[in-house]
Amino acid sequence: MPLKVGIPRALFFYYYYPLWKRFFENLGAQIVVSPPTNKSIIDAGIKCAVDEACLPVKVYYGHVTALKNKVDLMFLPRLVSLERKTYICPKFMGLPDMIRSNVKDLPTVIDTTFDLSKNSSSIYRPAREVGHFLESRDRIIDQAWDDAEEFQKEFEDRLYKGHLPCDVLDSLEKGKELPVTCNMKRMCVAVVGHAYNLYDTHISMDLIRHLKNMGVKVITPDIIPTAVSDAYANRLPKRMFWTMGKRLLGSVLHYIDEGKVDGILYVEAFGCGPDSMIEDLSARYVRRDRKIPFQVLTLDEHSGTAGVMTRLEAFVDMISWRGVS
Amino acid sequence: MAFADLGIDVGSVSTNIVLIDKNNELLDKIYIRTKGQPIQALQQGLVEIYQRNRDVEIRSVGTTGSARYLAGVIAGSDAVKNEITAHAVAALEEVPGTQTVIEIGGQDSKIIILRDNTVADFAMNTVCAAGTGSFLDQQAARLNLPIEEFGALALKAKNPVRIAGRCSVFAESDMIHKQQMGHNLADIVAGLCEALVRNYLSNVGKGKEILAPVVFQGGVAANKGMREALSKALNTDIVVPKYFDVMGAIGAALLARDAVKQRGTRTNFRGFSFCSTEFNVKSFECTSCANRCEVVELKTLAAVLARWGDRCGKWSEMPVDGLCKQAQKQTQQTG
């Protein structure tokens, strides 16, 4: 019987699922992913999470709860830094501790720290630490990691060809064909926000689908190669030291420079610390030349969609009124 | 027989209905409280409109407001539009050249920036409804002050007190403290208006270039104290249109007329006879999956008119009873 490794369908799942899946499977484990966010997952998350956490973190708690009795190992890595001198949100750094103190009866937790902020740090060290839960030989683990990184790269290449992560992940999980990317000339809106908010249809109130139903082509920062968004972020007067923030702000600067999108919709979770800065900076840069309509959408535990729909409709109306259909 | 366009705005606090003629002149208007019963309020309002305008033939119907879909299904709407677009269209019609629209309603507040007669930017209050009409209502009630007199009293203030406007809960406790310290009511009421305006400008109006003419509309525009506080804070004259309280409905009517013209067909209006139909709303929790969506079902005695509230479309996309379409046809013929 292979060991079952649980991966919560939340937060970094939307960025690194292919990497983790391939790595664990290479080491002979069986992957168990929690179901897409639903009401009971949210309710369970809100019940056990600390009050001040943002909605996506609360949702993460819910996914851990949904998985804990079904797996032998729970993968809750501590993501501190994924690149030199650049960091992930502090709530991610404390995630394994927060989960441990609030969720009872957890299986064995893989809470390896990933901190690549220092020059000398190597990814193989934390990768081996994770691997040792399943395999003792470092050589095998390193190979499993290299292969998984290849697989992750393939995933990212597909994104850079214009496929949204939700579609690529879906095709990966269910073996479905990727939908054809649409190049038709129609209204194009850039939806800017963290992947774990945008592609969790429960958190985002399915706003990507709603926009598509209104005849809008949706693009997101995830389909911009990191090198491009990094280059734009480097134009900032001060170095941006949040990985996610750098990505979002760099993308916004790219959209402004390119002038191809008809509108930018910034989606943030209520109470997000980094976004309180990034959203405001984005708004200031966009409004400097006033060419692209910009709108902020704040998400929280609301279950009524009326508020989101009103804003989406008004935003799309505004763009069409300006002469884009 | 005169032709007219019907505009309906069913909001959280008030339900407004207008009739406009082909020259965009307002023929009649109704402003009633929704009282948490949008269907009854809508029917009651439509009956009144009908009784006062029996010789008018409805050419198009538009709905807006937070209950725009519900109202749209019940009345048979030609255009279901969000409040931003409706308010912007109406403001441009009433005050040509408008550059800023400030709208404070019952549960939400918005700012619309217009440039060259099109919407350039807009914002609505985010997760918090502090400082909207229902809070003013609530405070007026607490002070035993009819809301109609609230504004006039604010104008009598000599030294408006400083009140925390960040959050309505804090504002209330701050007001109580000031009362207990012995400040007079006029100063407190004026202070509250200033606090709400401050909160509005730093929250909803954040980062927006507010240029004159500034149009102030929505139910709260009736409040002279709020007009004064806004004018003082922005250091500009505030234009309050004649029909400030029904601007959303006017916008809906204008949009509906265009929609019908563009479509080139007759209106979908069910006719006034539908006002006497009994509508029942039933809600249930769908148990098909873990989402447990709260599905709403709107029906008459004869048929189900519509369902909504589900995420997957199982209920909202299910064809409604054939009877319904028949009933609709009949009422269209007779009504």
Which of B82, B83, B290 lies nearest to residue A38, judging by beta carbons? B290
Q: Is residue A83 part of a domain?
A: yes
Q: Is residue A166 part of a domain?
A: no
Lowest mean pLDDT across A30-44, A233-247, B210-224, B308-322: B308-322
Mean pLDDT highest for which of B84-93, B126-135, B189-198? B84-93
CA B75 to CA B27: how far, in whole Å? 19
Q: Could you tell me if A20 and A92 lie in one domain?
A: yes
Q: Which A positions 26-65 lie with beta carbon below 8 A of chain B?
A: 35, 38-41
Q: Could you tell me if A23 and A142 lie in one domain?
A: yes
Question: Which runs of consecutive H residues, i.e. helices, occur in chain B?
Answer: 38-52, 68-75, 83-94, 133-142, 147-155, 168-181, 185-203, 224-234, 247-263, 322-334
Q: Percent of chain A, pLDDT > 70? A: 97
| pLDDT reading at B297 higher than 80 | yes
What per-residue confidence (pLDDT) applies to A185?
A: 64
State the residue range of the domain holding A87: 4-160
Q: Please spell the DSSP secondary structure of A171-219, one letter per residue.
A: HHHH-PPPPPPP--SS-EEEEES-HHHHS-TTTTTTHHHHHHHTT-EEE
Residues pairing with B2 in the sheet: B56
Name which residue leads in pLDDT, A198 or B314. Answer: A198
Q: Percent of chain B, pLDDT > 70? A: 94
Q: Could you tell me if A197 and A264 lie in one domain?
A: yes
Domain limit, last residue, from A160, A194, A209: A160
Q: pLDDT digit string (tens) for A122-161?
A: 899 999 999 999 999 999 999 999 999 999 999 999 999 9
Angle at B20 between CA B17 and CA B21, to 5 degrees: 155
Domain limit, last residue, from A99, A125, A160: A160
CA separation, residue A186 to residues A182, A254, A294, B41 (Å): 10, 20, 18, 40
Domain limit, last residue, from A130, A160, A190: A160
Q: Could you tell me if A152 and A217 lie in one domain?
A: no
CA B197 to CA B183: how far, in whole Å? 21
Locate B151 and state its tokens.
């504004």
CA atoms B270, B272, B274, B275: torsion sign: positive
Q: Could you tell me if A139 and A227 lie in one domain?
A: no
Q: Is residue A171 part of a domain?
A: no
Residue pair B166/B130 in contact by the 8 Å Cβ criterion = yes
Q: Which of B80, B121, B82 is nearest to B101 (CA)?
A: B121
Question: Once rounded to an integer, what is the mean pLDDT over residues B285-312?
Answer: 83
Question: Once rounded to an integer, what is the mean pLDDT over residues A18-27?
Answer: 96
Which of B122, B126, B292 lies nearest to residue A314, judging by beta carbons? B122
Q: pLDDT digit string (tens) for A215-253?
A: 999 999 999 999 999 999 999 999 999 999 999 999 999
Q: Could you tell me if A186 and A155 lie in one domain?
A: no
**Chain A partners of B103 at a C-beta cutoff of 8 Å?**
none
Using DSSP bridges, classify how beta strands B294-299 and B280-285 pair: parallel, antiparallel or unpaired: antiparallel
Choose the mutation target among B112, B124, B255, B292 for the interface with A, i.e. most A CBs under 10 Å: B124
User: Residues near B313 by Cβ (< 8 Å), separated by ≥ 6?
Assistant: none
CA closest to B312 among chain A residues = A206
Q: Is residue A306 part of a domain?
A: yes
E strand or H helix at A109:
strand A108-110
Taking domain B96-240, whether its CATH number is 3.40.50.1360 is answered by no
Instruction: Answer whether B118 sits within 8 Å of A321, measured CB to CB.
Output: yes
Q: pLDDT digit string (tens) for A267-281?
A: 999 889 899 999 999
What per-residue confidence (pLDDT) applies to A78?
A: 94
Question: Residues of chain B whose C-beta is under 8 A from some C-beta in A?
Answer: 66, 81-85, 118-124, 126-127, 207, 289-292, 294, 311
Locate B152 and state its tokens.
């006039």
Which of B82, B120, B121 lies nearest to residue A313, judging by beta carbons? B82
Number of domains in chain A: 2
Burial of A121 (C-beta count, 10 Å sphere; 0-12/13-18/19+): middle
Per-residue pLDDT band at B132 (split at 50, 70, 90): confident
User: SS3 helix, strand, coil % of chain A, rounded to 5?
Assistant: 50, 15, 35
**How close does chain A come to B84, measured CA to CA in Å?**
6
Q: CA gyration radius for chain A? A: 20
What per-residue confidence (pLDDT) applies to B129?
A: 63
Per-residue pLDDT band at A182 (split at 50, 70, 90): low
How many distinct helices (H) and strands (E) make up chain B? 10, 13
**How close does chain A come to B80, measured CA to CA in Å?**
10
Same fold across B2-89+248-275 and B96-240? yes
Instruction: Answer whether B118 sits within 8 Å of A309, measured CB to CB.
Output: no
Instruction: Answer whether A40 sits within 8 Å of B292, measured CB to CB.
Output: yes
Q: Could you tell me if A49 and A156 lie in one domain?
A: yes
| pLDDT reading at B324 higher than 50 | no
| pLDDT reading at A99 higher than 90 | yes
Q: Is residue A169 part of a domain?
A: no
Q: Could you tell me if A156 and A186 lie in one domain?
A: no
Locate A282 and state its tokens.
């984005």
Mean pLDDT highest for which of A69-78, A113-122, B142-151? A69-78
**How close does chain A come to B105, measured CA to CA in Å?**
14
- The average confidence (pLDDT) of chain A is 91
Interface contacts A/B by beta carbons within 8 Å = 70
Q: Could you tell me if A197 and A310 lie in one domain?
A: yes
Q: Give the domain CATH number at A138.
A: 3.40.50
A294 touches chain B (CB under 8 A): yes
Q: Please spell the DSSP secondary structure of A217-285, one letter per residue.
A: EEE-GGGS-HHHHHHHHTTSSS---BHHHHHHHHHHHHHHHH---SEEEEEEETT-HHHHHHHHHHHHH
**Chain A partners of B290 at a C-beta cutoff of 8 Å?**
35, 38-41
| pLDDT reading at B250 higher than 80 | yes
**How close does chain A come to B5, measured CA to CA in Å?**
21
Residue pair A128/A141 in contact by the 8 Å Cβ criterion = yes
Going from N- to C-terminal start, the domains of chain B cover 2-89+248-275, 96-240, 280-334
Q: Could you tell me if A119 and A246 lie in one domain?
A: no
Q: Could you tell me if A16 and A146 lie in one domain?
A: yes
pTM of the model: 0.86
CA A314 to CA B129: how far, in whole Å? 19
CA closest to B89 among chain A residues = A321
Instruction: Answer whether A41 sits within 8 Å of B311, measured CB to CB.
Output: no
Sequence-distant contacts of A259-262: CB under 8 A, at least 24 apart: A259/A291, A259/A292, A260/A188, A261/A188, A261/A189, A261/A190, A261/A219, A261/A292, A262/A187, A262/A188, A262/A189, A262/A292, A262/A293, A262/A319, A262/A322, A262/A324
Taking domain B2-89+248-275, whether its CATH number is 3.40.50.1820 is answered by no
Q: Could you tell me if A44 and A106 lie in one domain?
A: yes
User: Residues near A112 by Cβ (< 8 Å), separated by ≥ 6?
Assistant: A77, A78, A126, A129, A130
| pLDDT reading at A13 higher than 60 | yes
Locate B116 and state its tokens.
């060259």
Instruction: Answer whether A201 sits within 8 Å of B311, measured CB to CB.
Output: yes
Question: Once rounded to an integer, what is the mean pLDDT over residues B307-322?
Answer: 76
